Structure 1
Amino acid sequence: MATGKFRVKTNNEWNTIYYRFKHSKEFDIEISTGLKAPNKRWSEAKCEVLSSKDFDSDSINSTIKDLDRFVIGEYNKDLKEGVIFNSKWLKEKLKIFLNRETNNQLIDDNIFLTNYIDKFIQEAKNKKTRNNTLIKPRTIQHYNTTLNKIKSFEEFYNLKLKIIDVDLKFHGKFIEFLESIQKLNPNTIGGYIDDIKLIINNADKKGLEINREIKLNEFYTPSNKTNDIYLKEAEINSIHNHKFELDYLDNARDWFIIGLRTGLRISDFLKLTKKNIVDGFIEKNTLKTDYPVIIPIHKQVQFILDKRNGKFPREISDQKFNEYIKKVCEEVKINEVVEGAKMTEIKVTKKGKEEIIFRKKNGKFKKYELVTSHICRRSFATNLYGKIDTLTIMKITGHTTESQFLSYIKITKREYAETLKNYWIKMSAIN
């Protein structure tokens, strides 16, 4: 039977504790644990550090007992796998026990969280979905962001997480870190938690050891109700009809109207060309979902095309578009004070140095301050809701479920009430 024993070899002020692991004549291995005992406080008979006023002997004795149990357990698991037991094997087990990488990729990728996530990301780049399409680059990008957040968490707490460490304690500390240190909102944090759940479940399916607490309801995904805004028909028309003296604002306004009247994402409508116009319709394979959509050309979009000799507006970057449409809405005086979330500078201290980061801050702002590219698709869906059937709108916006769609549109309770009021007035006039 394999057995382990600890000892010290020197008689210095501090002495390294060695671990000897042997099995009759099959193997006899000894390595340094890196743990140390003070002079004359090591008991050879008990294989432990004697109590001392100036030293936490209980902690180190607990560690070496846990190490012995761990090595014995690993030996029993590896015995039936035909593993060769040598100093390399024992050193790797010691590093795993002490949460240190072994530099053996086959081992580290299946034990440590960030190593596994990195491997998961590399595999995901060539993995196909149920629709036989590759996973989108934006999804891969989000996985990478999640990985970086976990690395920041490990750096902040000076630790190395194992896959099995993803439990309720980690869940609470990770959320607290993202809220308090990274200053992120619940919806953003929820995206990272969802990625972690997905990745750990993947590890579970591959037979790796995970903590079952991730399956509990308490391992929840944070979220919060957002105060997203949309532009009403009258506001869109005022933007369309306004005469801009500055050419760059006129160009941005035309792209803005195209986004508002097609319901496409910015990654799609800013890439439109004459080739996308087919028999009076705009046809586009969407970048995010690779979903083909066909959209009739709105009269305001047709006006823009006619104005530009059948061409779409001049090319513009996403960043400039978001910057310019705020100026467009400000000039048109879309300045109603509304509740929403605005990207704001926040000062944080990292490694003793003050840095500026940008995070969304909830509050009341002039509406034009809150305008970004996301308002295009949301305004399109919200303004058409109730006027045509929901399925038709969903086919253009790409929402797959009605519940998902209804949470996306931004009609307020008062607006619903006004609709009912107008309906009753209309019916009273008829009767």
Structure 2
Amino acid sequence: MATTHLRVKTNNDWNTVYFRLKQSKVFDIECSTNIKVPNKRWSPSKSEVLPTKNFNHNKVNQDLIDLESFIMGEYNEDLKANVTFNSKWLKEKISKFQNRETKNENIDKLIFFTNYINSFIEESKTTKTRKNTLIKPRTIQHYNTTLNKIKAFEDFQGVKLRIVDIDLKFHDLFIQFLGKEQKLNPNTIGGYIDDIKLMINNADKKGIEINKEIKLRGFYTPTNKTKDIYLNEDEINKIFNHKFNSDYLDNARDWFIIGLRTGLRISDFLKLNKKNIVDGFIEKNTLKTDFPVIIPIHEQVQFVLYKRKGKFPREISDQKFNDYIKKVCEEVGINEEVEGAKMDEVVIRKNGEKETIFRKKTGIYKKHELVTSHICRRSFATNLYGKIDTLTIMKITGHQTESQFLSYIKVTPKEYAEKLKAYWNNMPKI
């Protein structure tokens, strides 16, 4: 049976307490506890700190008792597993007890949040969803962004977060950091909070100690109502019928019409080719959801294909598409002043130095300034809403629930009122 012993080796103003673990002639190991005690206040016979003014000797003695109990518990567990007991083993156990990094990832991921996130991300790469499909690369990418935000927060606060530190205090400080220091909007912050909840709940299921405050209502997900815009039928028709002198704008306009009339994401409609046309329909396995979508070819899309001799427009990058469709809408005259948010330069201070970043800024802008690729799917869904059944639209847009869909479309209260007015006007007169 192993025995323990505590001692100090030096005679300085402050002296480190060492922990010794010995089992007859099998092993004899000793490591620093990193606990320091005042000179001449250590009792070798009692293996404890003597009562000392201006020094919390009771806490130190209790910590040493708890450490001894912890080490013996770990020793008894590892003895069954035929673990090799050496200085490295003892150093890791002392670090684990004191919540310090051990540099042993199998230990550190059970204690520190960023270490756990790293292991969570690696597991996620091979984890199957309820539909027996792998987690999407974009989801993994978002987990990595969340990890980077946690690391930035740790640098800002000068701390190394433990898993049990993820509590309401962390929640409030993290949201403040992302809002005030990183200038992020509530919806973006909410995405990171959702990831953190998922990761901590995953740790809880594995039996890792967590702070239960994450289960409280106060650990909320920030959000705000976005002022997203869409193009109505008249605006889309103006874009379709306009004659552009610039070939690059004509090409971008044609892609724009395809996006507006298919409801596909930019990652899908810019990849369309002749192989996606089957029996008069556009067929595409969507990149984000891997969901097969079949869409009838709108007459405006048919005209674009006819104009280009059955081919889709010339290939274009996502970035250039977003840049060009703003110019398309400006030339067409979509200049109504509306409330919305667009990317703008923001100057922040990082490590004492000024740094320019880009963040969404809410304000009143000309509508063409707010146009991005996201407007395609949103316009498609909004313009069809109320004209055909919601389920049919959802099957094309890929929304899983009606609540998701209804939060996505952008029909204003005035437009709902106009629809009701039109319905009443078409009713038989009394």
Structure 2 partner of 1:199? 199
Structure 2 partner of 1:318? 318
Letter in 1 for 2:125: K
Structure 1 partner of 2:210? 210
Q: Which runs of 5+ in 1 are unaligned?
A: none
Deviation string 1:151-201 (CA, Å, 9 cap, x unpaired) is: 111121222222222222222221121112111111111111111111222
Letter in 1 for 2:422: N
- Give the whole-Å Cα distance in 1 for the aligned partners of 2:146 and 2:51: 42
Structure 1 partner of 2:16? 17
Task: Say if 2:252 and 2:321, in contact at 8 Å, map to a contact too.
Answer: yes
- Give the whole-Å Cα distance in 2 for the aligned partners of 1:124 and 1:173: 27
- Once the 2 structures are TM-superposed, how far is the Cα of residue 356 of structure 1 from its aligned partner? 0.7
Q: Residues 118 and 377 (structure 1 numbering): CA distance in 2 closer, same or farther, change over 3 Å?
A: same
- Give the whole-Å Cα distance in 1 for the aligned partners of 2:175 and 2:36: 36
- Give the whole-Å Cα distance in 2 for the aligned partners of 1:136 and 1:195: 14
Q: Residues 65 and 249 (structure 1 numbering): CA distance in 2 closer, same or farther, change over 3 Å?
A: farther
Which of these residues, 79, 86, 91, is aligned with residue 76 of structure 2?
A: 79
Deviation string 1:266-311 (CA, Å, 9 cap, x unpaired) is: 0000000010001111000000000000000111111111111111
Q: Secondary structure at the match of 1:228?
A: coil
Residue 69 (1) aligns with residue 71 (2): no
Structure 1 partner of 2:342? 342
Letter in 2 for 1:17: T
- Give the whole-Å Cα distance in 1 for the aligned partners of 2:243 and 2:68: 77
Which stretch of structure 1 is more off in the superposition, 371-380 or 92-101?
92-101
Q: Residues 71 and 266 (structure 1 numbering): CA distance in 2 closer, same or farther, change over 3 Å?
A: farther
Letter in 1 for 2:66: R
- Give the whole-Å Cα distance in 1 for the aligned partners of 2:66 and 2:195: 33
- Give the whole-Å Cα distance in 2 for the aligned partners of 1:302 and 1:48: 90
- Once the 2 structures are TM-superposed, how far is the Cα of residue 35 of structure 1 from its aligned partner? 4.4
- Give the whole-Å Cα distance in 2 for the aligned partners of 1:68 and 1:321: 67
Instruction: Provide TM-score, normalisation by structure 2.
Output: 0.91
Q: Secondary structure at the match of 2:427?
A: helix
Structure 2 partner of 1:137? 137
Task: Say if 2:349 and 2:355, in contact at 8 Å, map to a contact too.
Answer: yes
- Give the whole-Å Cα distance in 1 for the aligned partners of 2:339 and 2:345: 18
- Give the whole-Å Cα distance in 2 for the aligned partners of 1:190 and 1:64: 44
Q: Residues 76 and 251 (structure 1 numbering): CA distance in 2 closer, same or farther, change over 3 Å?
A: same
Q: Residues 315 and 375 (structure 1 numbering): CA distance in 2 closer, same or farther, change over 3 Å?
A: same
- Once the 2 structures are TM-superposed, how far is the Cα of residue 84 of structure 1 from its aligned partner? 5.8
- Taking only the aligned residue pairs, the percentage that are identical comes to 69
Letter in 1 for 2:255: W
Q: Residues 81 and 43 (structure 1 numbering): CA distance in 2 closer, same or farther, change over 3 Å?
A: closer
- Give the whole-Å Cα distance in 2 for the aligned partners of 1:348 and 1:63: 43
Task: Say if 1:16 and 1:33, in contact at 8 Å, map to a contact too.
Answer: no
Letter in 2 for 1:276: N
Letter in 2 for 1:18: V
- Once the 2 structures are TM-superposed, how far is the Cα of residue 244 of structure 1 from its aligned partner? 1.0
Which stretch of structure 1 is more off in the superposition, 108-117 or 385-394?
108-117
Q: Secondary structure at the match of 2:32?
A: strand
Output aligned runs, 1:13-162, within 5 Å. 14-22=13-21, 29-37=29-37, 40=39, 42-44=41-43, 47=49, 50-52=52-54, 57-58=55-56, 62=59, 65-66=62-63, 68-73=65-70, 75-76=72-73, 79-82=76-79, 86-162=86-162
Task: Say if 2:4 and 2:22, in contact at 8 Å, map to a contact too.
Answer: no
Q: Secondary structure at the match of 1:427?
A: coil
Instruction: Provide TM-score, normalisation by structure 1.
Output: 0.91
Residue 187 (1) aligns with residue 187 (2): yes
Q: Residues 229 and 4 (structure 1 numbering): CA distance in 2 closer, same or farther, change over 3 Å?
A: farther
Deviation string 1:79-136 (CA, Å, 9 cap, x unpaired) is: 2442665533331133234443212222122222112211121121122222222211
- Give the whole-Å Cα distance in 1 for the aligned partners of 2:51 and 2:30: 19
Structure 2 partner of 1:308? 308
Q: Residues 85 and 354 (structure 1 numbering): CA distance in 2 closer, same or farther, change over 3 Å?
A: same
Which stretch of structure 1 is more off in the superposition, 136-145 or 150-159?
150-159
What is the RMSD computed on CA atoms of the aligned residues?
A: 2.4
Q: Residues 213 and 379 (structure 1 numbering): CA distance in 2 closer, same or farther, change over 3 Å?
A: same
Task: Say if 1:342 and 1:370, in contact at 8 Å, map to a contact too.
Answer: yes
- Give the whole-Å Cα distance in 1 for the aligned partners of 2:292 and 2:281: 13
Q: Residues 348 and 70 (structure 1 numbering): CA distance in 2 closer, same or farther, change over 3 Å?
A: farther
